[in-house]
A = this chain, B = another copy of it.
Amino acid sequence: MITALGLFAAFLTTGALVPQVVKTMRTKSTGDLSLGMYLMMFTGTLCWLLYGFLNKDIPIISANIVASVFSSIILYFKVVGMKKKMN
């Protein structure tokens, strides 16, 4: 029961990136998104990934493969948007 709650919590906090990815890919508008947030988020998920590999912790590894892909997509659109603004 408690494990199910933890898995549900992990599903929500990791899956939270999905609606943002969908919105950002559709609008390609990233002015209100914080570059610092997605830099930290992406670096953080890579650290979690390494932590998961070192501990051979499958839930941590799988959640953070997903989260690092999603946050890198948002980061990519944010950087592209900032470059466009500069030109």
Contact = CB atoms under 8 A, between A and B. Distances in A.
* Identical copies in the complex: 2
Interface string A6-37: 10111111011111101110010111111111
A83 B47 CA distance: 38
Interface residues on A, range: 35 or more
A51 to B, nearest CB: 5
A54 interface: yes
A23 B41 CA distance: 16
A47 B5 contact: yes
A77 to B, nearest CB: 10
A44 interface: yes
Interface in A48-66: 48, 50-51, 54-55
